A and B are shown apart, each in its own frame.
Chain A
Amino acid sequence: MQAEFATALLDAERQPPAGLLAADTTERFAVYRNNVVSGLIRALASGFPATEAIVGADFFAAMAAIYVRVSPPASPVLLDYGATLPEFLAGFEPVSELPYLADVARLELGYTRAFHAADAAPLPPGRLNDLTTHRIGALRVALHPSAQILRSAYPVAEIWAMNTGRAPLREIEDWAAQDILLLRPQHEVAAILLAPGEAEFLRHLQAGAALEQAATAALTEAGDFDLGAALAAMFTRGTVIAVTD
């Protein structure tokens, strides 16, 4: 019974399952269908507000109604529902003229993950000065559990900020690629623009590389990578929670 019921909930073309009693089983079954689909659309809209603002609420609801049928949540914890929405958007023909939309959704996914990530106390910026006494290149750092690095070919941080009321709407003059760090050292998630090479540096550190390896990777990618500035910024922002030899 539940198999038939569940299948018909997500497929509007299907008849309601047999064995239901009501004056009009199709109409009554439609209440459940609507609850399921509209509830999941609301869950997506709350996790992807900028994506919704860019395409408009009606378009978002229609698009989300398709997504929820192909990718219903796999868990009753809806906090991170929509993990595959960016890939869905990247392949969704009606939004092909908004090539940055999938990256905006990636940023929003990262924001939600940072928001709910485990708590950890960042090391104070002063700890950076202690590091010079060690064999600095061999050190490894643990990044804050909320740290998410996003690389986009589009100015997604600005697009996101303008579409969530964090920045006024205006023409974007420099339509350039952006590397972004999402970080929540206390309770507020910050979207921080990274300098050239910094994303590569942080990604290597996050994967467990020593400082020297991470710096080499960053310099290989960006000749103007500034290790001193990157280290200082990392501590000032509260990105580091531990340093190990």
Chain B
Amino acid sequence: MNAMLPHASLPPRAGTAFKPLHFAALQSGDVAPGFLEVHAENYMGDGGLPHAQLGKLRTDHALSLHGVGLSIGGAAALDRDHLQRLRRLCDRYQPHSFSEHLAWSSHDGAFLNDLLPLPYTEDTLRRVITHVEQTQTALGRRILLENPATYLQFAASTIPETEFLAEIAARTGCSLLLDVTNVLVACRNRGEDPHAYLARFPLQQVGEIHLAGHHTTEDRHGAALLIDDHGNRIAAETWQLYESLLARTGPLPTLVEWDNDVPDWNVLLTEAQAAQQLLDRAARNMKAA
């Protein structure tokens, strides 16, 4: 365990994903989100406007750096060049948090650009633990690991996802990023109750929450198929799960994601303000209790 590594922390407020098209609105707006989150891989160019914007934003906002390409669940060794690029970004921007996914995305030299599922076994557990430890060592900080949105399971899995994540956190000292939308999507897609999943989740390890819109369709057999498309407002059911979660944890840093069909800044900000209201209520209830 990397026991000596510093613990990253974001403010327990509602933040938003940052998209370059919102830069001007964000700079001139009266209301600032609690923090901003960017995808690390979008800032791996050498220079130019992306870095100029991020540098300016970093002076006014808490920053969460979110990786989508490290392939921590990959069968192969971690990409050392990519770890170095992440390290340079962390050194340059000193983000309050760095997070990645319990998923794989590269195989045999090809980057597949999606967060792909892995079976949960003793073997994959050992591998992910090794990769999380290597990442934390390379970055010189603890990371957050996110639960995935999944569309199928593996016959080979022997460990429930919540236990798998709890074990990784316990053995590596990493924190967890609890994506409530992913919980809803994955649970519905495998016919599990998302409340039961959250009841088993190691909540004391959670360092950030993600909320996003999803898309609901039906499969050929008439069963609900939920797709984590980050292209919509947050669904009522996601808000309910979030609220019941906050009743147990108190306020936690919460990010509103929106990656496809990105709306005007005001729409995104309104979603974040709705999350902030629930955070404020959770804080009041904790005080009253």
Q: Which residues of A line the B interface, CB within 8 A?
A: 1-3, 5-6, 9-10, 19-25, 27-29, 31-32, 35-36, 39-40, 43, 72-79, 115-120, 145-146, 184, 187
Contacts and interface: CB of A to CB of B under 8 A. Distances in A.
Contact of A187 (B52, B107, B221): B52
Given A2-B75, A19-B154, A24 B221 contact: yes
Contacts of A10: 110, 112
B279 to A, nearest CB: 31
B106 interface: yes
Nearest to A79: B45
A32 B104 contact: no
Contact of A6 (B44, B110, B151): B110
9 contacts: A2-B74, A2-B116, A22-B189, A27-B220, A28-B151, A31-B227, A39-B114, A73-B111, A145-B46
Contacts of A117: 45-48
A187 B52 CA distance: 9
B155 interface: yes
B44 A79 contact: yes
B46 A118 contact: yes
Contacts of A119: 46-48, 51-52
CB-CB nearest 6 A-B residue pairs: A76-B69, A116-B45, A119-B47, A6-B107, A118-B46, A22-B152
A2 B151 CA distance: 16
Contact of B154 (A21, A27, A32, A184): A21
Interface string B108-129: 1111111011110000000000
A22 B151 contact: yes
Given A23-B223, A119-B47, A6 B108 contact: yes
B196 interface: no
Contacts of A43: 113
B47 A118 contact: yes
B153 A21 contact: yes
Interface residues of B, number: 50
Contact of B113 (A23, A29, A36): A36
A3 B74 CA distance: 10
A24 B220 CA distance: 8
A74 B154 contact: no
Nearest to B109: A74
A116 B152 contact: no
B50 interface: yes
A73 B152 contact: no
B193 interface: no
A23 B219 contact: yes
Nearest to B67: A76
B50 A6 contact: no
Contact of B106 (A35, A76, A145): A76
A77 to B, nearest CB: 4
A24 B110 contact: no
Interface in B20-64: 41-42, 44-52
Given A2-B75, A23-B219, A117-B48, 17 more contacts: A5-B107, A6-B112, A10-B112, A19-B119, A20-B153, A22-B189, A23-B221, A32-B116, A32-B117, A36-B113, A72-B110, A75-B82, A75-B111, A77-B82, A115-B49, A119-B51, A145-B47
A24 B74 contact: no
A123 to B, nearest CB: 17
Interface in B82-108: 82, 85, 104-108
B184 interface: no
Contact of A76 (B79, B189, B221): B79
B272 interface: no
Contact of A19 (B41, B52, B155, B220): B155
B156 interface: yes
Contact of A29 (B118, B119, B152): B152
B48 A76 contact: no
A77 B69 contact: yes
Most buried by B among A1, A9, A76, A120: A76
Nearest to A112: B45
A73 B44 CA distance: 15
Nearest to B104: A2
B176 interface: no
Contacts of A27: 219-220, 225
Contacts of A187: 48-49, 52
Interface in B131-167: 151-156
B85 A5 contact: no
B282 interface: no
